[in-house]
Each structure stands twice: as C-alpha cells, then as structure tokens.
Amino acid sequence: MPIAADAVRIDLLCGVGPDGRWRGWFDVRVHAEALRPLGLHPEQASAVVNGTSPPRWWHAEAERRARR
C-alpha cells in the first residue's frame, strides 16, 4: 500500500436504518501529509480547478457517445 497504515483511520458505524434494516457506514480518513507524495494534497496545483466547467451539452454528448 502506498500509504502507511498509521496514516489511515477507518471507522465503522452500524445501526438500524429508517426502513428497519441494518446498515453500515465507513468513515475513512487519511493524514494530508500522506497524500502529498501521491499528488492528491489540495495545496498542490494539480488539485486546483483552473478553468470553468464545460457546458451541460458537452457532458450529455460524452455520455451518449460512451453508450455507443
């Protein structure tokens, strides 16, 4: 694993949902410094949005083409 085990915290919460069925939720937390070598830290330029989002039609057309 590229991240040290002591830099990751995984918690599990279990309980009964509104429909009466048991549910489980995971909470995964990673120290920011452990993400830096992977290029995932928010302070790095590659993690910052540097332009506007494409128009809505562009995304819809990409999905249509992916289904072909």
Nearest residue to 31 via CA among 40, 21, 22, 18: 40
For the entire predicted model, the pTM comes to 0.48
Tokens describing residue 62 = 């990409």
| Residue 35 binned pLDDT confidence (cut-offs 50, 70, 90) | confident
Per-residue model confidence (pLDDT) at position 46: 63
| Residue 52 binned pLDDT confidence (cut-offs 50, 70, 90) | confident
29 φ, ψ (degrees, to nearest 5): -125, 135
Is-contact 12 24, C-beta < 8 A? yes
Per-residue model confidence (pLDDT) at position 47: 58
- Where does the chain show beta strands of DSSP type E? 8-16, 22-30
Nearest residue to 3 via CA among 28, 42, 37, 27: 37
